[in-house]
Structure 1
Amino acid sequence: MTVSIKRLNASQADFISQLATLLAWDDSVDHQVNESVRHILHQVKTRGDQAVLEFTEKFDRLTASSVAELEMSQSRLQQALEAIPQNQRVALQQAANRVRDYHERQEQKSWQYQDEDGTVLGQKVTPLDRAGLYVPGGKAAYPSSVLMNAIPAKVAGVGEVIMVVPTPDGVVNDLVLAAAAIAGVDRVFTVGGAQAVGALAYGTETIPAVDKIVGPGNIYVATAKREVFGTVGIDMIAGPSEILVICDGKTNPDWIAMDLFSQAEHDEQAQSILISPDAEFLDAVEASINKLLPTMERADIIRTSMTDRAALIHVADLNEAAKVSNRIAPEHLELSVESPEALLEEIRHAGAIFMGRYTAEALGDYCAGPNHVLPTSGTARFSSPLGVYDFQKRSSIIGFSAKGADRMGRVASVLARGEGLTAHARSAEYRIKSDE
Structure 2
Amino acid sequence: MTTRTGADRLWTRDFVLAAVVNFFISAVFYMLMTTMALYAVDRFGVGDTGAGLAAGMFIIGAVGSRLFAGKLVDVLGHRRVLLVALVVFLLAALGYLPAGSFPALLGVRFVHGLTFGVGSTASHAIGQSLIPPSRRGEGTGFFGVSAVLATAVGPFTAVLLIDGPGYGALFTAASVAAAAAMAIALVLRVPEALPDPNRREALWTFRREDLLDPAVLPIATFMGVTAAAYSGILTFLNPYALSLGLAAAASTFFLVYAVVVLVGRPLMGRVQDAHGDNVVVYPALASFGAAFALLTVGSSRAIIGAGVLVGLGWGTVMSSCQAVAVKAVPPSRVGVAVSTYFFMVDVGTGLGPVLLGWLVGATGYRTMYAVSAGLVALAAVLYHLVHGRVARRVRPAHA
Q: Shared topology, TM-score over 0.5?
A: no
Higher strand share: 1
TM-score where L is the length of structure 2: 0.28
TM-score where L is the length of structure 1: 0.26
Tell which structure's C-alpha radius of gyration is larger: 1
Higher relative contact order (CA 8 A, sep 6+): 2
